[in-house]
Amino acid sequence: MSENFTKEINGLKIDPQIFSFPFACKCNGECCNYGVYTDKKEAEMILSIQDKVKTMMDDSQSLDVSAWFEAPEEDEDFDSGVAVGTQIINGKCTFLDKNGLCSLQKLAYSENQHPWKYKPLYCILFPLTVWNGALTVDDEHIDRLKHCNKFPVSNATMVDYCKDELIHFLGEKGYTELIEYKNEYFESIKEGVNK
């Protein structure tokens, strides 16, 4: 699919669907029930702070670090070229506690750090994702969830609702370029319609 996308930012193709896809969701971590694919380097970072992570876990989670991650697999959509999935334990991501809170985010809060300091990139990005080299909508995951985006809290589209996440991912310059592309994209559609 990505070969049809013409715009690239930071070497990543942009799926214009993110400009029009309605998304505005406030749920309690349902998207974490399937776990996430981390980059191998992110999994290593999490293992390097395992003692601190364990202090954030409750009795619904495993303190056995060998049970935290799946086997690595090659995946070019990850910086290192290797993805490592988090395991599902008690029907939820290894790192999700029984109150629907991410232990990695709780740890960052407890240290007065940015909430995303220890969070895998693909957790931060959802409902956006990178697929075959393109920034796009993770509609497959949204569709299989019961509550995600089913009761939208506003009429926002993904590009608006995920502004902070996009700035984090693309940088301020990349985000500005994205919004310029959004305006050009809608302008080109308008011109096409008026022809």
Binding site for ligand SF4 (CB under 6 A): 32, 35-36, 86, 93, 95-96, 102, 104, 119-120, 123
Nearest approach in angstroms of CB 143 to ligand SF4 is 17
Distance CA 13, CA 100 (A): 33
Both tokens of residue 136?
A: 């796009």
- In the sheet that holds 82-85, the strands lie side by side as 37-39, 82-85, 73-74
Kindly tell me which of 14 and 166 has the beta carbon lying closer to ligand SF4: 166
Which CB sits closer to ligand SF4, 88 or 179?
88
How far apart, in whole angstroms, are the C-alpha atoms of residue 59 and residue 122? 26
Q: Whole-angstrom Cα distance, residue 167 to residue 68?
A: 29
CB of 76 to ligand SF4, least distance (A): 21
Contacts of 177 (CB under 8 A, 6+ apart): 9, 170
At 105, which amino acid appears? Q
Tokens linked to 192: 């096409």
Minimum CB distance to ligand SF4, residue 189 (Å): 35
What minimum distance in Å lies between the beta carbon of 176 and ligand SF4?
27
Q: Minimum Å distance from CB 14 to ligand SF4?
A: 24
DSSP, residue by residue, 169-183: HHHHHHHHHHHHHHH
Distance (Å, whole) CA 33 – CA 107:
19
Name the minimum Å distance from CB 165 to ligand SF4: 12
Radius of gyration, CA atoms only, the chain? 18
